[in-house]
Every structure is written in C-alpha cells, then in structure tokens.
Structure 1
Amino acid sequence: MSDHEAPRTPSDKNVDGVVDSANEALADADRAAKDAASDGSSIVEESEVIETTNVETPKVEDPDAAAFAEAESAFPGTFGTSSAAAAPASESIAADAYTPPPASDADTRIFAPEPAAEPTVTGAAAPGPIFVQAPEPPRDRGNRGTVAGIGILAALCFAVLYLGTALGIGALAGNVEGDTFVDSVLEALTSWQLWVPTAVFFIAFWLLGAIINRGRWGFWVVFGILVGVASYGGHLLGQLFAAPFWNISSAQAGELVNVNLLAPLAIAAFIFGRELTIWFGAWAARSGARKTVRNAEAQREYERLLEAGPKLSA
C-alpha cells in the first residue's frame, strides 16, 4: 500500500466483491443472450401486446435486473437506486410504448390564462386636448380721461385768474379796500359770479378735448377760441344767476346782459378761456401723442403674434 492510498475497511472489500459479482453476472447474461439468438430462439415482439381480461401476461425474467436487485437488497443505496426503481426488463420489453401513470387530482391543475399587461407609458403623460385661443386685438387708449383731469386743473387756474381780476377791478372802482379785502374774497368765493363761468369753462374745455382726443396741439390752438367764447358766455350767465334771474323780469335781465357785454371782466373771461385752453391743450396733446405711440406698439405686437401662430409651451 502506497503512502497516498487510504486504508481499506472490510465493508469496502464487501462492496467491491458485490460489484465484481454483478459485473460477472452481466457478462454471463450477455453471453446467454447471444447463445439464444444463435440457436434461433424467438423473442416476443415489442409492438404486440395481447390484452386479455383474466389472463396475465407471462413475465420474462431478466438476469441483469435480478443481479442489480440482489445487490441493491444486500447493500441498499450503494448503486443510487431503490428496489422499486429496478423494474423487471420484461415489463419494459413487453410494453409497446410507455404509458404515463394517471395523474392525481392534486397534480391536475387548470391555469387560467393571465391577462395581457397593458403597455405602460414611461415618459410624460399623454397630453389631453389643447385649446388654442387667438389673442384679442389691443384696445386703443383714449385721451378723454386725461383731458378731464387736465381740465380740472385748468378750471382752477381760470377761477384764480377770474377772482383776481374781479378784485382788481373792484379795487380800482373803490369797492374793495384793505380793511374789506378778506370779506370781499369770501363773498366772491360763495357767489354765482365766480363758479358759473368756471363751470362753463371746464365743460367747454372737456368737450373740446373729447372731440380732439389724441389730436395735435394745433387743434387746441385753433379751436381754443370756442372755449374762450364759452367762458365769455359763462360770465354773462353768472351775472344772471347773481341777480337772480328768476326774481327779475325779462326786461331787467336783458338790460343786465347789455351792461356786461363789454365789461372788463367779461373780456377777461374770454381771454383767460382762450389762453388757458392753448397752454393746457399742449399738455393734453402731448399725453395724446404718447398714447398714440403705445397704441401703435400694441398693434404691432398683436400682428406679430398672429403671424407667429399658436405655440405649445414645453
């Protein structure tokens, strides 16, 4: 026994003897089969199986299977097979085809087909319907509101100038003195003679501005004379309200109007209305020009959007 060879036990020797005897049995069986074939013995055909009701098919004993069964019974598990697995070869030879054992109820299962999985969208969710609304055309910006604000400031200036002129004329006539100056001012501030011409001037200025709107300053210069005429008429109307006209006869009202036709304060009212319309009209015209430029820019932007067409945001 060499240094690398493990010592053999008695059980190993017995196993080797069984294996050798099994190999010799296989060799003897092989020689017997060849001798039987040479003598012309007939072998039962594999494909013909006679099935009878009360007659058992004779089993042909296979020496190879018997040797393996004997060895397995002496040393179970040595050849990796059980005695139940070593079936007689005669049964396999007699059977024409392998018939599988009947399946039990536990093995017989019917599986319903699984529903097909719906395709999933890995990217962004599919967008819904998109409604594109055309941009609305820009609205033209008018200048009438600005003219009304400018007209209020112009009317206040008209009232101050008109009041100063009235006090100056009264001082020249000796009706207004230093001791009675404050009383004269308070009396004028609460009289129809001051506020009726002022109101008429404002209305005339605003109406002219509503007509001119965003027009040039030249329109204010030319048509400002109409505001002056309206202011002149406002002076006459203020004298009638101060009378008051509802307490006097028509003859007295006509005489009052004739006296004030060429009065210095009436002429001053015409001049103030005319000049204030020119200068404050320049302010209104400049505001109208700015609005005209903005309207043009808004119109160009609107046309650019129409030419570009609708776009989807990312």
Structure 2
Amino acid sequence: MSDPDVPQPEKPADVDDVVGSANAGLDAAAAAGADVPGAVPETVEEKAVDPDLAAFEEAERSYPGTFAPPAAAAAPPAVVSTDTDADATAVFAAPASYAEEPSVADTAYAPAYGAAETQIVPSEPLLVAAASPQLPQPIFVQAPEPPRDRGNRGTAGAIGLLATLVFAVLYLGTTLGLGALAGDVTGENIGQSALAPLATWGYWTPVVVFFIGFWLLGAIINRGRWGLWVVFGIIVGAIAYGGHILGQIFEAGILTLTPSAASELVGEQLLAPLAIAAFIFARELTIWFGAWVARSGARKTELNAEAQREYERTLEAGPTLAR
C-alpha cells in the first residue's frame, strides 16, 4: 500500500520548475529500466539524494543568495514520498512561507549576484581654499592740467577796432577841415563833401593800414607794459603815414600811373598836411588806446599768476577722494 499523498502546498514558480524537472528525469529513467544513480530508495527512512537538488545546493553554496536569501533560517527538510504503485518518487520542497524571513538588518547590505556592491567610505574633509587677501584696488585720479596762460592779443584787436574808428573820424574831420580852408567845403555842400571821401581809396587805405599796424603791435607786446606802447607807437604812426601815401597812389590809378608820375605824386604827399595828420593821429591813438590794452594785459598777468599758484598748491596737496 502506498503512502498517502501529502497535500502539496502552493510553491513558488522556481521550486515547481525544479521539482518538475526532477520528476521528469526519474520517470524517463524508470521507463527505460535503467538504474538511476542516486535514486530514492523505497524506504522512507533513507534519505534520497537528488542530482538536480545537489546541483542547486552546490550553486547556492558557490553563489549564495541566488535562489534564496543568504541570511534566511534553515528551511524544513524536504518531504520525500515514495509511491510504489507508480514506481516514482516525488520530492516536495518546503514552501517559501515556511522559511523564516530574513531581517532587514541581515539583508540591508547583502550584495546581490550580478549587482554592484555598495561601498561606504568615510567622507573626506572639505578643503576650503584660503581666501586670498583682497588687495586694495587702485584709484585712478586725473592729474590736474597746468593752467593755460591767458593772452591779450584778442583784447588788443578789439581795442584796435575802437581806435581805428576814432582814427577814421579824425581823418575824415581833418579832410573836411583842410577842404574848408581851401574853400572847397562850405555849409551848403558839407554833407556831400563828408560822404564823398567814403567812396575813395585815399580815405580807406590809411584807416585799414592803421588797424593792421595797431593789432600787430598789440600781438607783439601782448601783456606788456604801457611803456612799450609809448615807445613803439611811433611805428604805428609811420604805418599810417605810409598808408596815406599808398591811398593817394590807389586814388590816382595805380595801373595807369607811370613811374615818373608816381614818383612826383609821392614827393607831393611827403609833407602834405593830411599825411602829417595821419602820422600824429596814429601815434597818439596808439599811446592812449595802448594804455587800455596794457591795463588789460596786467590784469591777465595777475590771473595767470594766481592760476599757477593754485596749480602748485593742488600738486602739493596730492590727490583727494571726493566725499
């Protein structure tokens, strides 16, 4: 009589495959009539040695954790049942639920087969680079520019225009006075006689030459003293005197005048009253208007000196930061 069938509990898929493979091998061996090495004896007392199970156990020892957790408690032994009627041996493995589940502490760091092993290394101290000392940033300060000297040439030119205007009035008045003495200018034609010289070269040439001479002398003296105007004012008088003679040549027609006629004309105008008047007017106007120019030059000289002293004080004080 065969042993009663033990109810087979629900097995995991991998155990069923193992048991099915073992039973299929035993059935094939029994049908062929060959002796299967390591077959389970008919007596229950003897322990059966299954080659597949031995191979699995060998693989488990070689690679722990492949088929079962390595820290799990030993599962109940497999129940071997021999069925004499079917002449076959069934091996029942204990279900996975019978095994003691491994604790979290045992399996937390258990390496799995084929997986990378987690390594815990002590944290290295962070090396904080020492901060380099902050160097003071250079501050660029623009150096003060040296003061520019204030010239007096522009002022001399402006004052020269006023002196030229006075010279033109005096020169015209002298022309009318000389005409009145000659009887050419009367009360009836004084207006026409006053306007007639304004359209001639003989009148404007000495006026323009006087302005040029006055301004050139002012450009040379610049901020010089009044004494220079007094001494060199005679040059402006000589220029105005020559301007009167040149104006008379232009009036006579410089392009049509022969050299002999021009020489005769120059000889007549050397001691002409109007030529002498032009020299005296230019000489005196240069002296008095030159005093005005000299006073302006002295003021600008003082301003230049003050600006230079301020510049030197700024250099001695050095650069300062604005608060």
The residue number in structure 1 matching 2:189 is: 180
What is the TM-score when the length of structure 2 is the normalising length? 0.59
1:137 corresponding residue in structure 2: 146
Deviation at 1:128, TM superposition (A): 5.3
Alpha-carbon deviation of 1:103? 7.0
* Partners of 1:169 and 1:280 in 2: CA distance: 26
Residue 43 of structure 2 aligns with which residue?
Answer: none
RMSD of Structure 2 on Structure 1 (CA) = 3.5
Query: Larger % of helix: which?
Result: 1
Per-residue deviation at 1:313? Answer: 2.1
**Correspondence for 1:238:** 247
Pairing partner for 2:306 from 284, 290, 297: 297
Pairs within 5 Å for 1:1-314: 129-314=138-323
The offset of 1:100, in angstroms, is 7.4
Q: What is the Cα deviation at residue 102 of structure 1?
A: 7.7
Instruction: Spell out, residue by residue over 1:70-90, the C-alpha distance to the aligned partner (whole angstroms, 9 max, x if none).
Output: xxxxxxxxxxxxxxxxxxxxx
**Gapped regions of structure 1 (runs ≥ 5):** 1-52, 56-98, 105-109, 118-125
Amino acid at match of 1:189: L
Encode CA deviations 1:89-143: one digit per residue, 9 max, x unaligned. Answer: xxxxxxxxxx979879xxxxx9x99x999xxxxxxxx985421221111111110
Equivalent-residue separation in structure 2 for 1:101 and 1:154 (angstroms):
121
Structure 2: 5+ residue runs without aligned partners?
1-72, 76-103, 110-119, 129-134
Q: For residues 220-249 of structure 1, what are the alpha-carbon distances to aligned partners after superposition, in whole Å with 9 as ceiling and x for unaligned?
A: 001101111111111101111110121110
Shift of 1:299: 0.3
What SS class does the counterpart of residue 246 from structure 1 fall into? coil
What letter matches 2:155 in structure 1? T
User: Secondary structure at 1:262's aligned position in 2?
Assistant: coil
Identity of aligned residues (%): 66
Residues of 1 paired with 2:74 and 2:187: CA distance?
A: 161
- More relative contact order, 1 or 2 (CA 8 Å, 6+ apart): 1
CA distance in 2, matches of 1:223, 1:198: 19
1: CA distance, partners of 2:221 / 2:314:
31
Give the total of aligned pairs.
Answer: 214
Amino acid at match of 1:138: P
Structure 1 Cα separation of the partners of residues 274 and 136 of structure 2: 77
TM-score, L = length of structure 1: 0.61
Distance in 1 (CA, whole Å) between partners of 2:201 and 2:164 is: 15
Matched residue of 1:312: which SS? coil
Q: Which amino acid aligns with 2:164?
A: A
- In 2, Cα distance between the equivalents of 1:299 and 1:207? 28
Deviation of the 1:308 alpha carbon: 0.7
In the aligned structure 1, how far is the partner of 2:194 from the partner of 2:138? Answer: 74
Task: Give the counterpart letter for 1:313 in structure 2.
Answer: A
Task: State the distance in 1 between where 2:158 and 2:235 align.
Answer: 20
1:5 maps to none
Distance 1:249 1:54, change over 3 A: closer
